[in-house]
Amino acid sequence: MRAGHPWIYRSDVSGVEAAPGDVVQVLGVKERPLGRALFSDQSQITLRMLTRDERAVDDRFWLARLRQALDYRASLQLDATACRLVHGEADLLPSLIVDRYGDVLVVQALSQGMDRLLPTLVPMLVTLTGATGVLARNDPKVRTLEGLPQEVRLLHGEVPALVPAREGPVHCEVDPWHGQKTGLFLDQRENREAAARYASGRVLDCFSYNGGFALRLASVAREVIALDSSADAVVRIARNAALNSLPHVTAREANVFDELRHLERLGDRFDCIVLDPPAFAKNKAAVTRAMAGYKEINLRALRLLNTGGFLVTCSCSYNVDEALFGQALYEASVDSHRAVTVVEKRMQGRDHPVLLGVPETYYLKCVILRTLD
């Protein structure tokens, strides 16, 4: 706590007088007040600190916290109609996610406390943003650790099946009801822009989802091939490519692990490859296997690059930190027998800030590499 981390685990709590989801006063040794927190009677994370003093946690408090988060996003002057407005702990609103897609907000309440607070926070969000619809995408599995149901529920106004959104020059359709995460991988927006500064010629976008990288890179590439194992994602890429009049983007349903090997056998070559896999290490026990996975796809991708080609490679596994990911990339470069330089080391976009002292808020690594021979 002294180092700024807001979580207090069950094993560190000696007594409780509270109901599930209450905002509670936290007392330390000798009953010394430590601040106020959200209480959970189910999760190992029993307390999520809201304050480190005795100020009241009332409507004024919540409005100020939400306004602070929204003012920060407004100050970024993002060239997009979709972005993250609230990034949980890093906005001092622990376990609350709010994403904006045009006039629609998608929220996730990932603790008992935030779940109970939604009726208070949603009207405030509507007033602050002018949103015409608010959807709760409360289906992440972590909710079960809080004893909360996994559900998708309309909380305000109307939320259409498909919502139009724009990121820079790219227009797309977002399915907030069923799409992965809250609809898009908003955390990669700035990395897509960065990749567009290097990409050219033939581009391979692996783990493409709705074509976030593929569509952005199409403006600088001759040909873009997008791969994803989800049939729905592949249909959406094709629709988004048509929406943006990008006939040189093609999407294929494929397992990237198999397809990279297949392309290598065919002797295919690319000028830019994007690797944006799902989190391979969902927990600490999965790290060794995840490292093997990262090494494998990066090795294969490096072999498929032309000389002077760029590899935009990502890991969203919190459990594989920057150093470990760097190690997997280094090992891949050694085994690929190629000289590889690091062009940029990047992270999640600025609308997904990292709170110092809370490593859980830093999860996305994006490294841009270049082959020299």
Q: Helix 59-75 vs helix 112-129: angle between axes, to the nearest 10 degrees?
A: 60
Please, what is the minimum distance in Å from the beta carbon of residue 122 to ligand SAM? 26
Residue closer to ligand SAM by CB (options 50, 225) is: 225
Please, what is the minimum distance in Å from the beta carbon of residue 249 to ligand SAM? 13
Among 95, 188, 298, 336, binds ligand SAM (CB under 6 A): 188
Among 198, 209, 270, 318, binds ligand SAM (CB under 6 A): 209
Q: Is 314 considered catalytic here?
A: no
Residue closer to ligand SAM by CB (options 93, 316) is: 316
Among 25, 81, 219, 230, binds ligand SAM (CB under 6 A): 230
C-alpha separations of 290 from 281, 300, 327, 348, 355 in Å = 5, 16, 12, 20, 25
* CB proximity list for 192: less than 8 A, separation 6 or greater: 167, 168, 212, 213, 216, 217
Residue closer to ligand SAM by CB (options 39, 294) is: 294
Q: Per-residue x/- mask for ligand SAM, residues 265 to 304, rule CB under 6 A?
A: -----------xxx--------------------------
* CB proximity list for 56: less than 8 A, separation 6 or greater: none
Residue nearest to ligand SAM (CB): 212
**What secondary structure, in 3-state letters, does 233-288 show?**
HHHHHHHHHHHCCCCCEEEEECCHHHHHHHHHHHCCCEEEEEECCCCCCCCHHHHH
Q: Per-residue x/- mask for ligand SAM, residues 245 to 264, rule CB under 6 A?
A: ----------xxx-------
Among 213, 270, 318, 325, binds ligand SAM (CB under 6 A): 213
Dihedral (Cα; 276, 277, 279, 284), 10-degree rounding: -110
Please, what is the minimum distance in Å from the beta carbon of residue 327 to ligand SAM? 21
Q: What is d(CA 117, CA 113) in angstroms, rounded to the nearest whole number?
A: 6
Please, what is the minimum distance in Å from the beta carbon of residue 197 to ligand SAM? 16
- CB 107 within 8 Å of CB 96: yes
Please, what is the minimum distance in Å from the beta carbon of residue 41 to ligand SAM? 33
Q: Please tell me whether residue 325 binds ligand SAM under the rule CB under 6 A.
A: no
Residue closer to ligand SAM by CB (options 7, 207) is: 207
- CB 280 within 8 Å of CB 320: yes
Residue closer to ligand SAM by CB (options 66, 256) is: 256
Smallest Cα–Cα separation from 156: which of 91, 84, 105? 105
Instruction: Identify any residues that bridge with 48 across adjacent strands, giving them in sequence order.
Output: 7, 38
- Among the listed residues 83, 206, 316, 366, the single catalytic one is 316
Please, what is the minimum distance in Å from the beta carbon of residue 354 to ligand SAM? 18
Select the span of 147-155, 180-188, 194-202, 304-312 touching ligand SAM (CB under 6 A). 180-188
List residues binding ligand SAM (CB under 6 A). Answer: 180, 185, 188, 207-210, 212-213, 227-230, 233, 255-257, 276-278, 316
**Residues with active-site annotation:** 316
